[in-house]
Structure 1
């Protein structure tokens, strides 16, 4: 199981019956493939659709049906499609219970940077700024470290922010961390890792409770 699947599987554990959930580009959209059996919830995509499901198999996709990242999706019975202005009215109106978004960096204060690396990468903020302040719960999904082994879970973000103090939960392939008023709490570590392993590769200051669990994936 690679890091992307680990993160997507763990994100799916945050969903509950009856929720309206938005999944951002990349790893978060993969979470639709791991919804618990029998769960009744509504997935929303910002380009204008409600009630989609798992990624279709090769050869079974409809080129006219895709998520905001252009990836194919499957519309479930009862699904609806509509203009983007209505989609953002749903988001800005506080009707999204949870959103999971990819990130370049996050920090212990709940800040998130996911749209720009000055001089190298600037695709635009897109709907992230609306989701980060409009959704009732925000999950940030990212690899724990970059290709050089540097932590992406920081004391303070160094990149331009998408929104400030909005993240509730951080999910990486190594750990699950909750942003609280007292600081960043380590809740779970991935199978095969120890608390010490996570602390060593994390720049942020972590609060370590006595009951850190193994990540359920």
Structure 2
């Protein structure tokens, strides 16, 4: 079964970020979205450690150890970008000043509950970071994750079994197989990236789906 790579997933998410948007990219795979944003669009990337106006990752050899994002990855700063205090950064997040955030997840429920900070495993290290603040503070929450766990279980579930980060906060889910919108009627599949049929995708997914597909361009 063919799946999108993480870079291909990031490219698809980037297509849905409109010009003028203020966006936080969560730690991990979501940071790849920065490398696929249209440079002709003015999009303001925010990081909770106190950056606004981030650009793509620097070229090899151009890294600045004093310019990193919240995930400790080297970043660039676009013209007009700004640095500010950590507390001010969280005030932006909690105050509803971000249009979008893109987060990774362990699980997302059918009604948009998000679990992304702890699996509950006794040897796992909890890592909530700013995810709770983003989940309730951003106007729209996009989740970017693999459709299945390494054990082949659906990460899209009827009810989260892991500790919840935010309740009914997710608006759209991007996986390596499909794009799903959280609606009042349930999860609506708007795109399937692979050669899977809708029925095959349904069998892989832990909740009933609504077929609203328009096949993604090859």
TM-score tier, shorter chain, comes to over 0.9
> Partner of 2:82: helix, strand, or coil?
strand
Q: How much is the aligned-residue C-alpha RMSD, in angstroms?
A: 1.4
Corresponding residue number in structure 2 for 1:101 = 103
Corresponding residue number in structure 2 for 1:194 = 197
Question: Given the two structures, how large is their TM-score scaled by the length of structure 1?
Answer: 0.95
CA gap 1:176/1:2 in 2 versus in 1, 3 angstroms: closer
Deviation at 1:152, TM superposition (A): 0.6
Are the counterparts in 1 of residues 4 and 177 from structure 2 also a CA contact under 8 Å? no
> Partner of 1:213: helix, strand, or coil?
coil
| Cα distance in structure 2, aligned partners of 1:114 and 1:201 | 20
Deviation at 1:125, TM superposition (A): 1.2
Corresponding residue number in structure 2 for 1:114 = 116
Deviation at 1:120, TM superposition (A): 3.5
| Cα distance in structure 2, aligned partners of 1:33 and 1:200 | 33
Question: Given the two structures, how large is their TM-score scaled by the length of structure 2?
Answer: 0.94
Are the counterparts in 2 of residues 115 and 125 from structure 1 also a CA contact under 8 Å? yes
Corresponding residue number in structure 1 for 2:85 = 83
C-alpha offsets along residues 60-81 of structure 1, whole Å, 9 cap, x if unaligned?
Answer: 1100011100011011111111
C-alpha offsets along residues 102-160 of structure 1, whole Å, 9 cap, x if unaligned?
Answer: 00111111001001111132333110000000000000111000111111111111101
| Cα distance in structure 2, aligned partners of 1:72 and 1:148 | 32
Instruction: Output aligned runs, 1:119-134, within 5 Å.
Output: 119-134=122-137
| Cα distance in structure 2, aligned partners of 1:46 and 1:216 | 35
C-alpha offsets along residues 158-203 of structure 1, whole Å, 9 cap, x if unaligned?
Answer: 1010011000000001010000111111111013332123112101
Which segments of structure 1 move beyond 3 Å, counting only runs of 4 or more? Answer: none
> Partner of 2:134: helix, strand, or coil?
helix
**Number of equivalenced pairs:** 215
Instruction: Output aligned runs, 1:3-18, within 5 Å.
Output: 3-18=5-20
Provide structure 1 residue ranges, at least 5 long, that are not aligned to the other structure.
none
